[in-house]
Amino acid sequence: MIREVLNNYNEYQKPRGGNPLTKILVRGVIDAEADQWVKHRKIINPAFHVEKLKHMVPAFYVSCSEMLNKWGETLNKESSGEVDVWTYLSTFSADVISRTAFGSSYEEGRKIFELQREQAVLVMKAAQSVYIPGLRFLPTKSNNRMKEIDREVKASIKNIIDKRVVAMKAGETSNDDLLGILLDSNYKEIKQHGSKYGLSIEDVIEECKLFYFAGQETTGTMLVWTMILLGHHMDWQKRAREEVLHVFGDKKPDIDGLSHLKVMSIIFHEVLRLYPPALLLRRMIHEETKLGVSKATKGHATYLPFGGGPRICIGQNFAMLEAKMALAMILQRFSFEVSPSYTHAPHSILTLQPQFGAHLVLHKL
C-alpha cells in the first residue's frame, strides 16, 4: 500500500492548507506537484548525478578537516575530553552545502544559510502554534522578522544568480557547484524547448533555499545519531574503524574507497531506520481512489528514510557520500564514547535532533 501511494504521486499529493507562514522557509521541487514537479525534477537532476558529485568530494574533505581541527583545539593538549559534537556536525553540514551550492561565492552562501537557520526556528514556532487565519498579516515581531529574513535571503541569492548569468553569457563556465549545474541545465532546457519549460529566477531562488534545508538538516542529524549509537556500541565502532583503516590507512579518503565501506553502509542504514531525519511522509487524495489488493509482503516500502517512488529524495547519494567522508575521517583521528552527561532525548524540530546535544568523550588516536 505504501509503495502504491508513493508511486502514484499524482493521485496522492502532499497536503495543502495549514499555516501559510511555513511555506516561507522552503518551496521548490519538494513542494511542487504534477507537471510543475516533473519540470523542476528534470532540470535539477543533473546536479545530483554521481559524476557531478565526484567533483564535490574535495569540499566535503575541506569542511570535515576544519571541524576535526576544531575538535583537536577544544581538547587542547589533552588526549581526551568531552565535546558536544552536535553543534559541530550541524555547522559542518551547513558548511558543506555552502561550498557545494555556491562554490566561489561560499562566504556569501554561508551568510544566507545562517539566515535560513534562524528562519527555520521561527517557522517551527509558527507551525507549532494554533493557526488563526489572517494572523500572518499582523505586524508582530516574529512575522516581521520572518518576512525580513525572506527578503534578505532572496535578494542575496538573486545577486549571486545574476553574477553567474552574466558570466555564462560571457562564455565563462561555472558548473562545478550545484548552482552552476542548475543554471546550466535550466539554460539548455529553455534553449531547446522554450522559456515555459524552464525555471524562472524565482524558482531557482527557491531551489537554492531548498539546498540548505535538505542538505544541512538531514546529513547533520544522520551523523549525530550515528556517533551516538557508535558511542554506545563500541564493537561496531571498532569494526567500522578497522574497515576505514584497511581501505585508506591514514590517507585522505577518496570516492572510490568510500564505495567499498560496506560495514559503514550497514551502520548508516540501521541509523536511518532507527532515527530517520524526517519522521513522517504526508499524502492526501483529492478524489475517490481505490488502492490495490492488500498483501503483507516483504519489500522496500518498509524502509523509507529518503521517501520512495518517483519522488524519492534527489539528494540521497549526496547525503550518503558526505556522511561517509565525514565518518571515515572521524574514525581515522578519534575514538569516542557516550559521556555520562549525555541525555537521550530525540526531539523533532524540522528533523529528528538530540534535544540536549550529543555529549561524547573523544580520544585522540
| pLDDT tens column, 59-102 | 999 999 999 999 999 998 889 999 999 999 988 988 898 888 88
Q: What is the pTM of this model?
A: 0.83
Say which DSSP state 30 is in: G
Q: Which residues, in sequence order, are CB contacts of 197 under 8 Å at separation 6+?
A: 39, 189, 190
Model confidence band, residue 203 (pLDDT cutoffs 50, 70, 90): confident
> Residues 135, 146: contact at Cβ < 8 Å?
no
Which residue do the cell numbers 556500541 mark?
A: 233
pLDDT average, residue stretch 130-158: 86
Write the pLDDT tens digit of every residue in 336-356. Answer: 999 999 999 998 777 788 999
- Provide the residue type at 126 as one letter: A
Per-residue pLDDT tens over the stretch 255-269? 999 999 999 999 999
On whether 313 is known to bind a ligand per the annotation, the reply is yes
Angle at 223 between CA 302 and CA 216, to 5 degrees: 95
Number of structural domains in the chain: 1
Residue 56 DSSP class = T
CATH number for the domain including 295? Answer: 1.10.630.10
| Digit-coded pLDDT (tens) for 159-184 | 888 888 888 778 776 667 888 888 88
Check whether 294 has a pLDDT greater than 70: no
User: With contact defined as beta carbons under 8 Å apart, do 224 and 359 qualify?
Assistant: no
User: By residue range, what is the domain housing residue 139?
Assistant: 2-364
Calpha distance 105→108 (Å, rounded): 6
